[in-house]
Chains A and B, each alone.
Chain A
Amino acid sequence: MNDQTLFSIFFSAMVVNNFTLAMFLGLCPFMGVSARVETALRMGLANIFVLVLTSLSAWVLNTYILETAPYLRIISFIIVVASLVQIVEMVVKKIAPVLFRQLGIFLPLMTTNCAIFGLAIFQTNRGYDFLQGIVFAIGAGLGLTLALVLMASIRETSELSDIPAIAKGTGLTLIIAGSLSLAFMGFAGLL
């Protein structure tokens, strides 16, 4: 049971406690596919889609099945996430082959994406109901997309800059992420 208003959940998940920049979830795509704005945007949209589905299935699982056995939560959530990603992949391939070609490579990556599994765990720990869960998922997904796109645009812009050889790659990406995270701290206290 949780009394938070939907707006507060949405806003908190999107910027104040941004999944990537404040909670370090979904770092793999953040470091890996943030070189181009366009791919980053697609990855983000694919994430929103899977996050909402995860939130839905985690809620169903938690309300109707795991009520008597909460200790099986981790194991059932990971199985659901893993199968969900595969099912989504198959369905998208069948129904919308164009979309599949655009999202294709990103979907399988999501099985071990902490953001997806983290969403299910946080949603349960905080006791969100059905609607709160969906709003939480959309907020978290938009937050991930925002972080990815910001990161990608900074990296695109700095591509032609004269950067010392040792700073190229991960080190620089992490420091940019740190600066973004600092900037996002400014959102704290808005709620």
Chain B
Amino acid sequence: MKERPESDAIEVQVVDTLQPDSGDGAPVEEQVSTLRLVATLAVAGALAGLLIVLVNLHTKPIIDEYKAEQLKLAIYEVLPGVSRYRTLYQVDGALSAEVPAGAKATDFRQAYVGYDDAGQMKGVAVSRGESGFQDIVQVIFGFEPDSGVLLGMKVLDSKETPGLGDKIFKDQDFVDQFFARPQTPLAAIKAGSGKGAPGEIDAITGATISSKVVVSIINNGIAEWRPILEKGIPEEAQ
């Protein structure tokens, strides 16, 4: 209790000493030149930029590493049995290991080709987004380019309704169907009404649109990528 009045006293003192200062400052402020205004903002801007760049130098490697790690985990998940992958870019309707000089890698669609321990190509993973119930649903999935068999699927991003639409990644039974090597094109059917045809996926009750979106993303994605993959996958540079 003794401390509080003490700090109050100090406070009043500080404010008092400041008072004449700001009193003197007021008339000066009226004739502030444009130069001074610009200079103040320029100095503030330069300092702000410098600080941001410094922190960015520190955090960027951590962020990049995390993103690469997340991508790697997702690719390994949708391509079971894969131990290594490489990134290829779709340039002018064909696959290329490099983007054209001067272009940004993010401007091109990417495919991740996965290999097992023996160096055998196991499958290709691609990511694709389409409008779902609420917003874009982003999915990464792996498939065998020759046979069109689906290997796995993972929802990367979705804002589907909690409790209903979000079952497309929370309902393990639904997700497991995509890992049972179904033949594409897939067809979403009412749960339990399957006739044993290849490529049937039991939709989630109460999340018809979300279930159909996942199926549609995979079908459209494979339809887009198979002709490109048929043109051949560029050899790895040794």
Point out which of B109, B134, B161 has the most chain A C-beta atoms below 10 A from its C-beta.
Answer: B134
- Cross-interface CB contact of A17 among B60, B107, B135, cutoff 8 Å: B135
Residue of A nearest to B107 (CB): A1
A106-164 with Cβ < 8 A to chain B: 126-127
**Bound complex: CA of A119 vs CA of B52, how far in Å?**
23
User: Contact mask A1-20 → B, CB, 8 Å, 1/0?
Assistant: 10110001000100011000
**Known contacts being A75-B48, A188-B161, A189-B209, is A4 close to B53, with CB within 8 Å?**
no
Residue contact B52 to A71, C-beta cutoff 8 Å: yes
Give the docked Cα–Cα distance between A75 and B49 (Å).
Answer: 9
| Distance A8 CA – B131 CA, assembled complex (angstroms) | 8
Cα(A17)–Cα(B136), bound, Å: 11
B225 within 8 A of A: no
The reply to whether B134 and A16 contact each other, CB–CB distance below 8 Å, is: yes
- Would you call A72 an interface residue if the criterion is a C-beta within 8 Å of the partner chain's C-beta atoms? yes
Query: Which of B104, B106, B131, B133 is A4 in contact with, Cβ under 8 Å?
Result: B131
Q: Are A191 and B56 in contact (CB under 8 A)?
A: no
A residues near B48, Cβ cutoff 8 Å: 75
8 Å CB contact of A71 from B56, B129, B161, B209 = B56
Q: B60, B107, B131: which has the most chain A beta carbons within 10 Å?
A: B131
Which residues of chain B have a CB within 8 Å of any CB of chain A? 48-49, 52-53, 56, 60, 104, 106-107, 109, 129, 131, 133-136, 161, 209
Q: Please name 13 pairs of A and B residues whose Cβ atoms are closer than 8 Å in the assembled complex, sorted by A.
A: A1-B107, A1-B109, A3-B129, A12-B135, A17-B134, A17-B135, A69-B53, A71-B52, A71-B56, A72-B49, A72-B52, A75-B52, A126-B136
